[in-house]
Amino acid sequence: MAPVAPIAAAPLIGGVRRRSGLAYLLLLPGMLWLAIFFVIPFGSLFATSLQDSPAGLFGNYAQAMSEYWGAYVRALAYAGISTLLALIIAYPLAYYIALRSGRWRSLLLVLVIAPSFASFLLRTYAWRTILADEGPVTSFFNALGVLPDQRILSTGLAVIAGLTYNFLPFMILPLYASLDRVDPRLIEASNDLYASGPKTFWKVTWPLSMPGVVAGTLLTFIPASGDFINAQLLGSPQTQMIGNAIQANFYKLRDYPMASSLSFILMATIVILVSLYIKRSGTEEIV
């Protein structure tokens, strides 16, 4: 958002006032939307999280942390692993679509998005069948003898698989967008300057696709860490994520202060992790 730009360009003082008025007018709907649906609920959520505190002002927070720390750890771990898997699956795919697919490009992009036309819930239910105990996937891995519990469904593996699958398009699309912007002449220049294929990838293509990597990982990690559907449908009580705890407190236990505290802790954790991540990847100006 840059409401300042038209002001600088205005030729007259009267014009300046009118133009800046217009800029604020144009901002108004967005600001109102944010105020009504974000700032006010945010405040009310925070107020709720302080109610019925057992000890001190932030008693709910202390209780939330001690009772649900396992769910927090699982949420971050599952989301982190899913994000990494999605990146590994999505990168070659996005690379191919952006740089090699030629006239199939549009079709391939549609195929990436196509599953989203079916309901999220439905697709997650489908994974129960895919990963069922006697199903081909589980049988295959059991034949290899690599499954500790002889099953996938109702374990962390199933939750991670579901999360990876469900958020994959959010990884592919930003990666595609940023790989599509990589000038093929830079790859030629790198080849010309003694860099072989792999060296060119690590020294030119990968750094230039960083904005896509950062955007894709954020778009996957943030919703995945707050997700509860996958853990509920594909997991077991032992694989509960923080999303499940929040959902249970809101809808089953009706413990609103506890649910609010859990939400706040999750939000704060994500904000801190994301800022550290962006800072580390040094891409503030290009995201």
Shortest Å, Cβ 190 to another protein: 7
Instruction: Please list every residue from 166 through 225 that binds another protein, using CB under 8 A.
Output: 183, 185-186, 188-196, 199, 203-204, 207-208, 210
Q: Are the C-beta atoms of residues 115 and 167 closer than 8 Å to each other?
A: no
Our CB check for another protein shows the closer of 134 and 192 to be 192
Give the interface size with another protein as a residue count (CB under 8 A): 18
**Cβ contacts of residue 181 below 8 Å, gap of 6+?**
208
Closer by beta carbon to another protein, 254 or else 280: 280
What is the distance between the alpha carbons of residues 58 and 56, in angstroms, rounded to a whole number?
6
Least spacing, CB of residue 285 vs another protein, in Å: 11
**Residue for token pair 């998005």:** 113
Helices (H), 131-241: 136-144, 156-180, 184-192, 197-200, 206-208, 210-226, 229-234
CB of 189 to another protein, least distance (A): 4
Residue 284 makes contact with another protein by CB under 8 A: no
Q: Which residues contact 79 (CB under 8 A, 6 or more apart)?
A: 163, 220, 221, 224, 225, 227
| Residue placing its CB nearer to another protein in the complex, 92 or 207 | 207
Closer by beta carbon to another protein, 67 or else 183: 183
Beta carbon nearer to another protein, 73 or 193:
193
Separation between Cα atoms, residue 215 and residue 156, nearest integer Å: 26
- Is 103 a residue that touches another protein (CB under 8 A)? no
Task: Give the interface with another protein as residue ranges (CB under 8 A).
Answer: 183, 185-186, 188-196, 199, 203-204, 207-208, 210
